[in-house]
Amino acid sequence: MSVLKKKRHVSKKNKKDWRKHCDIKDVEDFLEDQRLEERLGKFDAKPDSELFVVDTEGADRVEDVKTEIAISVKPRSAKERKRQNIQEIPKCYEILLPTSKVQDPNAKRNILNPVGFKPTALSKITEKRRAQKGILEKKVEIARKNRKIALSKKKKLKQIRNTFDTDLWGATIPEAKGIPSSLCDEFVPPEAQLHNVLPERRLRPKPPPPKTVVTRAAVDVPHPGISYNPSFKEHQELLQDVVQHEQKMMKRQAHLRRVTTGMFKKVTQQEKENQWQEEMSVGLSKPHNPAQDSDPETDNEYKAVNPPVRNKKKDHKARRKQKEMLQEKERLKRLKVEKKKITDLYKLRQLQSSISKSELRQTEERLKREAKRSEASISALPALNAHKVPRKEPDFVDPQQLTGDLRKTTSTGNLLRDRYESLQRRGALAAAKLMMKKKKRVKSYFKAGHKVTDQDVERFLTRRKATK
């Protein structure tokens, strides 16, 4: 009983419902066909030779041919067969082979290294043996050679830096100034030439260096007294310089001591303790001392240390009196000022002269100060930093050192430090306080079980004796 199924009405409102109740079989079939075609190739496109075979022999001859071939071909040995089988892909893996004719879109997916790529344990050993013999792979040898060449090239390049082979100041031709050669023509105006100079070759204005750097001599004129064989007078002068310098320093030291440590009073330990006790017991009631009980007549009446203050109001009279007093004071003050004004009128000339005198004195002093300051600024040490530049100290030559013999001269002082300080004094370097890196303090200790004490040693010795 085949009854035509009644078409049921279903809702296809949502995507889900749409999918559920839509018949897409024909589409899927088509796609399946297409995929199959892709895989196996299109049926129409295939040549006939691939689709059809021309049967030239009868059905019965087929077996004969097989036997004939078997006869004509030399029978293989078992070993050969095995080898051939190795080359063939084993049956079990055939399933892993792609059946599809579609090319792998990601060709790089599986790179299989050929056999012998990875060194085996055996090959490693042989390689090592060869390397010991000095036989190297050609690849390695070439690489080595190339590396050597590259290194020598690099070295040469570095040394070129130390071969000075250009006359920096010789060429005043415009090309040396970075002007491109195409513009080196007398018809090209200099503005245009300079405009085309590359930015990195352009000479840029730079403010002049500080005055101290330019004017101060790099190598000071030596004091004649530091000669290895000085005349007596010059050496004495040098010593005098040193003495004066030292005295100045001592004076300064003394001053500093006076204004710092000397400012504080020295107190003995006992005094310090007493002071402490006194300070700490301020406000505390003192212990009862019967000797100090000087008021025997007070009759044990209570008396507060700080009696209560009463807010006593002033009466009218007192207020008036106070007011009057203030007014009187004010009046007198004014009177005095008025009086002074009148007397000052007569003092005008005197005032004027005193003012002019003081102004004169001030200008004089100012001039003096300026002169002094300008004089000091000529040799002043530059303040470029919070640190101070060390002042130049006169060279001291010990009279004992002077032998008057070139062979026996011993040098004093440190030339490098002189240079360093001279740079600082000229303002080419900011003064600095050299901070040394602190060494890390490493605490050494024995691991608990590894400590060897005297007892251990003794025990070891006794045991050793016992075994002997």
Site for other proteins in 410-449 (CB under 8 A): 410-420, 422-423, 427-430, 432, 434, 436
Measured CA to CA, the distance from residue 167 to residue 157 in angstroms comes to 19
Tokens 């790179």, residue?
111
What torsion, rounded to 10 degrees, do the Cα atoms 69, 73, 76, 82 define? -60
Q: 128, 144, 154, 391: which one contacts other proteins (CB under 8 A)?
A: 154
Query: Which is closer to other proteins, CB of 240 or CB of 281?
Result: 240
Do residues 384 and 213 make contact, with C-beta atoms less than 8 angstroms apart?
A: no
- Name 398's Cβ contacts closer than 8 Å, sequence gap at least 6: 412
Is residue 163 a contact residue for other proteins (CB under 8 A)?
yes
Is residue 155 a contact residue for other proteins (CB under 8 A)?
yes
Q: 136, 194, 239, 384: which one contacts other proteins (CB under 8 A)?
A: 384
Query: Which is closer to other proteins, CB of 188 or CB of 226?
Result: 226
Measured CA to CA, the distance from residue 130 to residue 371 in angstroms comes to 89
Measured CA to CA, the distance from residue 185 to residue 205 in angstroms comes to 25
Q: 95, 96, 337, 406: which one contacts other proteins (CB under 8 A)?
A: 406
Measured CA to CA, the distance from residue 451 to residue 444 in angstroms comes to 12
Minimum distance from residue 413 beta carbon to other proteins (Å): 6
Describe the crossing of helices 348-379 and 316-346 by its angle, rounded to 10 degrees: 80
Is residue 127 a contact residue for other proteins (CB under 8 A)?
no
Minimum distance from residue 128 beta carbon to other proteins (Å): 20
What is the CB neighbour count within 10 angstroms for residue 230?
19
Select from 222, 230, 212 the least CA-distant residue to 394.
Answer: 222
Do residues 183 and 193 make contact, with C-beta atoms less than 8 angstroms apart?
A: yes
**Segment 204 to 223, residues that bind other proteins, using CB under 8 A:** 204-207, 209-210, 212-213, 217-219, 221-223
- Name 237's Cβ contacts closer than 8 Å, sequence gap at least 6: 223, 225
Minimum distance from residue 193 beta carbon to other proteins (Å): 18
Minimum distance from residue 46 beta carbon to other proteins (Å): 60
Do residues 235 and 397 make contact, with C-beta atoms less than 8 angstroms apart?
A: yes
Q: 326, 383, 457, 461: which one contacts other proteins (CB under 8 A)?
A: 383
- Using CB under 8 A as the criterion, what x/- string covers residues 266-295 for binding other proteins? ------------------------------
Minimum distance from residue 406 beta carbon to other proteins (Å): 5
**Segment 221 to 240, residues that bind other proteins, using CB under 8 A:** 221-224, 226-234
**Segment 344 to 363, residues that bind other proteins, using CB under 8 A:** none
Minimum distance from residue 390 beta carbon to other proteins (Å): 10
* CB-based burial, 29-63: b 16+ in 10 Å, e otherwise: eeeeeeeeeeeeeeeeeeeeeeeeeeeeeeeeeee
Stretch that binds other proteins, among 62-70, 182-190, 351-359, 400-408 (CB under 8 A): 400-408
Is residue 376 a contact residue for other proteins (CB under 8 A)?
no
Total residues at the site for other proteins (CB under 8 A)? Answer: 76
**Segment 165 to 204, residues that bind other proteins, using CB under 8 A:** 165-170, 199-200, 202-204
Is residue 13 a contact residue for other proteins (CB under 8 A)?
no
DSSP track, 240-263: HHHHHHHHHHHHHHHHHHHHTGGG
